[in-house]
Amino acid sequence: MSCLRSVLLTVLLLAILVPSAGRAQTADSTSLLPAIQQRYEQLDGLRATFTQKIRSDFASGSTRMQGTLLLKQEKYRVETDEQTLVTDGTTTWIYTPADQQVIINHADQDASTLSPETFFTDYADHYRVVRAEEVWQNGVRHRKLRLTPTSSQTLFREVTLWVRPNDPIVTRLRVTDRDGSEITISLEDIDLNPGLRASDFTFTPPEYADVVDLRSS
């Protein structure tokens, strides 16, 4: 969670005035979930800038951070002013400049269960579309999808996705976890298939950094 601490009015009216049209819209939108996952699996990477906002009932106000994201299936690199998180799918590096510390761990044993892959692709098997509408986001037509989980084992109790239907790529999402905390992530300057290298998903600790390697613990 520390790593990252980051498509309805037309359809709603149709659902009220012409219920059959509303059902058709939701059914059509449901097919977007596996399409989203397939699209990300086929991509040869993604680069974007992001803004993440977190609101919690346990804290006053909200927190906001900005940074850059590189994503290629299970590999990702998230950089903000406060922290850099990198994984090659096997090893995870978390670098905190303020502490001059790098924590290294096995990717599947990292304390953070939330990853960019989780946020942007992991919905088809665990959620269903309960409401949908067409909206405009940054001058581009999107499908806004509200999802609810199909089991009690999911990380989020509610998810809203803003999806470009022509790609389909998620450009914004809002999730509410089981404790009521709300996370909103918005992507801009999205670059698909930017030619990412293997070195983009590894991290070499600075010479002055304190390295804590948890893989041998």
Token couple for 70? 């590189």
Task: Write the CATH number for 109.
Answer: 2.50.20.10
CA distance 217 to 200: 26
Q: Confirm if 47 and 195 have CB atoms less than 8 A apart.
A: no
Give the total number of structural domains in the chain: 1
In the numeric block, the tokens 């390697």 are attached to 213
Give domain status of residue 199, yes or no.
yes
Give domain status of residue 4, yes or no.
no
Give domain status of residue 64, yes or no.
yes
Burial string for 113-133 (b: 16+ CB within 10 Å, else e) reads ebbbbebbbbbbebbebebbb
Give domain status of residue 1, yes or no.
no
Q: Which of these, 216, 207, 217, 215, lies nearest to 92 by C-alpha position?
A: 215
Give domain status of residue 2, yes or no.
no
Which residue segment(s) compose the domain that 56 sits in?
Answer: 9-216
Give domain status of residue 104, yes or no.
yes
Give domain status of residue 173, yes or no.
yes
Which residues touch 60 (CB under 8 Å, ≥6 apart)? none
pLDDT (tens digit, 0 to 9) for every residue of the chain, 217 residues total?
444 333 222 222 222 222 223 333 444 566 788 888 888 888 899 999 999 999 987 766 788 999 999 999 889 999 999 999 999 999 999 999 999 999 999 987 544 445 676 667 778 888 899 999 999 988 999 999 999 999 888 888 999 999 998 888 999 999 998 888 999 999 999 999 999 999 999 999 999 999 999 988 6
Give domain status of residue 24, yes or no.
yes
Q: What is the value of pTM for the model shown?
A: 0.78
Give me the residues paired with residue 92 across strands.
87, 105
